[in-house]
Amino acid sequence: MSNKVTKIGVLTSGGDAPGMNAAIRAVARTGIYYGLEVYGIMRGYSGMIDDDIFHMSTRSVANIIQRGGTILKTARSKEFREYEGRQKAYENLKKRGIDGLVVIGGDGSFRGAQKFSTEFDIPCIGLPGTIDKDIAGTDFTIGFDTAVNTAVEAIDKIRDTADAHDRLFVVEVMGRDAGYIALHSGLATGAECVLIPETRTNIEDLIQQLTEKEKRKKLVNLVVVAEGDELGGGNEVGRILKERLPNMDIRVSILGHIQRGGSPTCLDRILSSRMGYHAVESLMTGRHNVMVGIIDDKMHYVPLDTAVKEKQSFTSDWLKIIKILAS
């Protein structure tokens, strides 16, 4: 595999995340600054297969750093999972001379990039674009800070109405396999309890905790639930609590996809810009098939196969702190 990269493609794949546009902008402008040709690939791997690829200029990425979503669109491609689909994608890249790829997405996107790069002679760089923050090798993923701030803002507003009516609110946040949005937003909003996929949920402990608070006349309570919690998310937790605590006024709020959208925070814009810049530098200097992350504010490079095998971990201190501060 040659280290000399002259034409690079950039795509966004999987779930959208605020900050993806800032990363696209950084990749395009860094590549053009260094004399590379940059191509935008629409709808992720589907666009590679369908040959939906266009040449980018600096103007292609003007006025997008503040926008949520992704100008390149995103999709999940079943066809790319088959060798024939990847072969077709490769042929579309080769006819343009594209010899480097920047993939902005989550672990599924990285698995595709790793397999594609192994089978063909296209070096790939991954940028962790997922609101779930569930990829090891980086302190933050693109979109997480915006998503958790959106959740915090919404939960703060829910607390106001909970206070006005002396209610218990069960708030479901996103996180099918990871509880980071729930952990961060729950701690930041003073939740009584946070239920996440990474730990077993003891419903009896939760009911006892809420019963004790009711006896102490603490009538405003918040329970933050990740959608992937083992009990089945916010609606199921709310149903159980209504059944077991009939004297409490209990409501359920599902925040849903508002957490995916919106203008990225300052942190996400800077994170994405730095990662995009270093993705291009990595391709140019021969550092291939890695994910670009940031740990302790320094750039960190993790092999793609490691990034897809490992998950971000958290300590039990998080849940202990939440419990103590809500007492």
Instruction: Convert the pLDDT of each residue in 199-221 to its tens digit.
Output: 888 888 888 888 876 666 666 68
The percent of residues above 70 in pLDDT, for the chain, comes to 94
> 176 and 277 share a domain?
no
Q: What is the mean pLDDT of residues 87-100?
A: 96
pLDDT, tens digit (0-9, with 9 covering 90-100), for 37-51: 999 999 999 999 999
Q: Does residue 190 have a known ligand-binding role?
A: yes
Q: Is 1 a residue whose pLDDT tops 80?
A: no
Q: Is residue 169 part of a domain?
A: yes
CATH code of 242's domain? 3.40.50.460
- The sheet carrying 168-173 orders its strands as 193-195, 221-226, 168-173, 250-254
Is 47 part of any known ligand binding site?
no
Q: Which residue in 149, 184, 154 sits closest to 169, CA to CA?
A: 154
Together in a domain, 18 and 52? yes
What's the whole-number mean pLDDT along residues 99-110? 93
Supply the pLDDT for residue 325: 82
With contact defined as beta carbons under 8 Å apart, do 61 and 25 qualify? yes
135 and 178 fall within a common domain = no
Instruction: Say if residue 160 is in the same domain as residue 200.
Output: yes
Per-residue pLDDT, averaged over 17-34, amounts to 97
Instruction: Quick: pLDDT tens for 269-294.
Output: 999 999 999 999 999 999 989 999 99
Q: CB within 8 A of 159, min separation 6: which ones?
A: 169, 189, 190, 220, 222
Total of domains in the chain = 2
- Is residue 35 marked as binding? no
Q: In b/e form, how buried is each residue of 41-50, taking b as 16+ CB within 10 angstroms?
A: bbbbbbbbbb
CA atoms within 13 A on the CB side of 302: 26
Q: Is 311 annotated for ligand binding? A: no
Q: Which amino acid is at 253?
A: S
pLDDT at 253: 93
- Among residues 16, 99, 132, 145, the one annotated as catalytic is 132
Do 69 and 217 fall into the same domain?
A: no
Angle at 323 between CA 318 and CA 327, to 5 degrees: 150
User: Is 132 part of the annotated catalytic residue set?
Assistant: yes
Q: What DSSP string describes 233-259?
A: SHHHHHHHHHHH-TTS-EEEEE-GGGG
Q: Is residue 319 part of a domain?
A: no
Phi and psi torsions of 303, nearest 5°: -55, 140
State the average pLDDT for the chain.
90
Q: Which of 105-119, 161-175, 229-243 has the highest mean pLDDT?
A: 105-119
Same domain, 166 and 137: no
Helices (runs of H) and strands (runs of E) counted in the chain: 11, 11
192 is in an annotated binding site: yes
Confidence of residue 315 (pLDDT cuts 50, 70, 90): low
Give the pLDDT score at 2.
44
Whether 18 and 139 share a structural domain? yes
Instruction: Establish if 244 belongs to a structural domain.
Output: yes
Domain hosting 26: range is 7-143+264-309
Does pLDDT of 308 surpass 80?
Answer: no
Statement to judge: residues 133 and 221 lie in one domain: no
- Which CATH number characterizes residue 302's domain? 3.40.50.450
- Domain edge (last residue) among 200, 226, 260: 260
Say if residue 227 is in the same domain as residue 271: no
State the pLDDT at residue 313: 66
